[in-house]
Structure 1
Amino acid sequence: MTTPSLTDPRLELINTARSFYQQGWMAGTAGNLSIRLADGSFWITASGRSKGELLLSDFVLINTSDQIEASSTDIKPSAETAIHQILYSLFPEAQACYHIHSIESNLVAHFTSEDYLSLPPLEMLKGLGIYEDNPRCLIPIFANHLQVSRIAAEIQYRFTNNPPQIPALLIRNHGVTVWASSPTAARNHIELIEYIFRYMVAARSLGI
């Protein structure tokens, strides 16, 4: 088991979770964050823990065989661990995966009945890797299922056949998930995509 230190990656996740919690993006015990280690294993938030008060003991280590490697007996990994596993498998460059339950992400997922949502051509898209004039950027939407393994399987199938334009996805009535090459980049991705969602909600209320 990893010995806690000033460089322990869980400290990064604790700080990020607290920030997201304070913004109302991880209310109660909602949401999950993970960070991948050099050997391919990853730490993920435990199920049922307040994201505003995480401790080093509130994480589970998943090894490269997708098995729990380090955990106390009274905690379980996030119910959405399977989604993190699939995203790390599909995108080897990803080193962090963040999932939040914001009001805006749930609202915009209902702006369309399609399995994707068209994002406005805002400057913020550059931070998500879109460098085009007046880009047509689509974020994929997935149906929510009680069995998370079904969501993960659908993500694997769709992304294998049609890779996403940006490192983000929506789950209807659930929230948004991003992945990135570092924890800092993943945090930026969440903040950028949430800015775009807030713009979309505001624009619709104003009839723009």
Structure 2
Amino acid sequence: MNNQVSADERIELITAARLFYQRGWMVGTAGNLSLRLEDGSFWITASGKAKGELTTRDFVRVYADSTVEAFDSDLKPSAETSIHQTIYTLFPQARACYHVHSIEANLVSMFAQEDILHLPPLEMLKGLGVWEENPQCHMAVFNNYLDVPKIASEIEARFRNHLPQIPALLIRNHGVTVWASSPAVALNYIELVEYVFRYMVAAHQVK
């Protein structure tokens, strides 16, 4: 195993993490980012690392057979690694998966009706692949459990039968996860969904 593989791509994740930290979406050690490589393995942020101070040594590489590679034996993969694994299995075209914890994401999760969150028909949805006039779009919502593989299992079961309208999902009172064909596109998606969330919170306040 070679710890030097794709160090430049990890730097792209580091840059995104610092941006999200500055915006208050990855405070403390919250959130996780991953990048899938050509062989199907992926780099993911190590558990317990401050997202505003990441280095290339703060990632763990996870292989298809669940083998874990790290610079330090004390490093563990993010607690939400199973969610990233599920996303990469369900969506082979995905090369990046980003999960952040924002105040707005938690607030809008309370607006959800059962297991979906209806999104306003904003122009921004085009950036998520919704090219319709006055679209009726929603985001899948999942319950939060301390047992993260249970969340991953529910994501897998639902998306196997019903593909999501947009490449994003919301975990109730927890945060949003997006997946994309590259780290740059994943960053775009996070910015777009967080804009939609802020709009929804603001619209709720003026009612």
Deviation at 1:67, TM superposition (A): 2.4
Distance, in Å, in 1 between the alignment partners of 2:193 and 2:97 is 14
SS of equivalent to 1:99: strand
Identify unmatched segments of 5+ residues in structure 2. Answer: none
Q: 1:141 maps to what in 2?
A: 141
Deviation at 1:64, TM superposition (A): 2.1
Q: 2:193 maps to what in 1?
A: 193
SS of equivalent to 1:178: strand
2:107 equivalent to 1:116: no
Q: 2:33 maps to what in 1?
A: 33
Whichever residue aligns with residue 110 of structure 1, its letter is M
Per-residue CA deviation, residues 134-171 of structure 1 (Å, 9 max, x unaligned), is 10001000000000000000000000011100000000
Distance, in Å, in 1 between the alignment partners of 2:101 and 2:112 is 19
Q: Contact 2:3 / 2:71 at 8 angstroms: preserved in 1?
A: no
Distance, in Å, in 2 between the alignment partners of 1:196 and 1:55 is 31
SS of equivalent to 2:11: helix
Distance, in Å, in 1 between the alignment partners of 2:100 and 2:4 is 28
Scaled by the length of structure 1, the TM-score of the pair is 0.96
Equivalent residue runs for 1:41-190 within 5 Å: 41-190=41-190
Q: Contact 2:112 / 2:141 at 8 angstroms: preserved in 1?
A: no
SS of equivalent to 2:177: strand
Per-residue CA deviation, residues 2-25 of structure 1 (Å, 9 max, x unaligned), is 3277x6211011100000000000
Per-residue CA deviation, residues 23-50 of structure 1 (Å, 9 max, x unaligned), is 0000000000000111111000000000
Query: RMSD value over aligned CA atoms?
Result: 1.1
SS of equivalent to 1:8: helix
Q: 1:2 maps to what in 2?
A: 3
Scaled by the length of structure 2, the TM-score of the pair is 0.97
Q: Percent identity?
A: 64
Q: Contact 1:61 / 1:71 at 8 angstroms: preserved in 2?
A: no
Distance, in Å, in 2 between the alignment partners of 1:99 and 1:91 is 16
